[in-house]
Structure 1
Amino acid sequence: MTLYGASTEYVLHSLLWLVTHPEPVSSLDLAELQEIPAAFVAKLLPRLEKAGLLTASEGLKGGYRLARAAEEISVLAVVDAVEGKKSLFNCQEIRGRCALFDRQPPTWATQGVCGIHAVMLRAEQAMRAELAQTSLADLARSVRNKAPAPFFREAQSWLDDRVQTRRTSKVRQRKQAGSLLP
């Protein structure tokens, strides 16, 4: 059973790149850097902007950046922005449907909160508490502790090259358009 899907994973990985990158990064660059579907990322990042987790800017150097410090953004805030605030368990109240009950279940069978539902609620609350106390900065630190230092310089260079490539391409397009004028 999957509680959170690929959307949450894609977004969290994308946000990790923004933790140490102060300049805006395009959704296309984030997707291509990680080899994940660009359409997915382009659809999901506006949700984070709407939730106040990202800010967006337009233009050649445009893209997304964190709206506040990574220490102030919890994993729970990201999950809720991507997945919506939904309950992970939907109790169907089948405890009152036993074939041995004659039409109406006895009071003892349906009295109080369903034991199964109560366990599921406690588990969900524990999970949400863990997600709430874990920040993007915490996740980024765990990745930084694993990866060799040159990796992050290479990633920064890759992102910088992408911006430069767009800028050069745009200048070339303007020059070509200008040479086509009579």
Structure 2
Amino acid sequence: MISQTAEYALRAVVLLGNSAGEPLTTQQIARASRVPGGYLSKVLQSLGRAGLVEARRGLHGGYVLTKGLDELSVYDVVNSVDPLQRIHRCPLRLASHAGKLCPLHQRLDDAVAMLEEYFKQTTIGSLLKHASPDSPPPLCEVATLVGEMAPAGPAPSGH
């Protein structure tokens, strides 16, 4: 129903939302979300152009969300990378369909409109909050990322 690009964008946003405001690098997001790094870079650029994420430069740089999870809808994310396509005229371009959609295409467009509205009403935060205890984590394994963010090198000696 949504493109792979939109799926990847949703995975990235969920990870960024679970990072407690700490910037995540493209490599960290790619590894945890199982998205190819080169492709993820393009997805993150699209999210940035839409104002949903911002890139921070420097040693501890990376990407962060620009909005809270309860302010960010599934529609915002999907629409920023690969908008849902409404049907405005019959794809067959038949003269008899001029100005109107045939019953099939009208129903398909109605379905897309309903999905679009549902996505607008569903925030990323609500997806994370309303998961049942026995449901899997949304879209990607956050635990994978947590392990990667641990400081590298030997553990402190405890003196």
| TM-score of the aligned structures, taking structure 1 as reference length | 0.68
Structure 1 stretches (4+) deviating beyond 6 angstroms? none
CA distance in 1, matches of 2:117, 2:51: 20
For 1:107-129, what per-residue CA distance to the aligned partner results, in whole angstroms no more than 9, with x for missing partners? xx447622333222211110100
Q: Percent identity?
A: 24
State the AA in 2 paired with 1:16. V
For 1:34-80, what per-residue CA distance to the aligned partner results, in whole angstroms no more than 9, with x for missing partners? 23211111111011111111111011211111101111111111111
Q: How many residues align?
A: 147
Post-superposition shift, 1:143? 5.0
Bigger share in helix:
1
Which residue does 1:58 correspond to in 2? 57
CA distance in 2, matches of 1:147, 1:50: 31
Does 1:16 find its partner at 2:10? no
State the AA in 1 paired with 2:7. E
Q: How does 1:98-109 map to 2 (within 5 A)?
A: 109=96
* Alignment CA distance shift 1:113-1:25 (3 Å): same
The gaps in structure 1 that reach 5 residues or longer are 97-108, 169-182
Q: Which of residues 118, 123, 126 is equivalent to 1:130?
A: 118
Q: Which has the higher contact order (CA 8 A, sep 6+)?
A: 2
Does 1:33 find its partner at 2:20? no
Q: How does 1:1-182 map to 2 (within 5 A)?
A: 3-21=1-19, 22-84=21-83, 86-87=85-86, 91-93=90-92, 95-96=94-95, 109-110=96-97, 113-114=100-101, 115-142=103-130, 145=133, 146=135, 154-155=143-144, 157-161=146-150, 164-165=151-152
* Alignment CA distance shift 1:111-1:27 (3 Å): closer
| Conserved 8 A contact 1:48-1:81 | yes
Post-superposition shift, 1:93? 4.2
Q: Look at both structures and tell me which one has the larger radius of gyration over its CA atoms.
A: 1
CA distance in 1, matches of 2:64, 2:41: 14
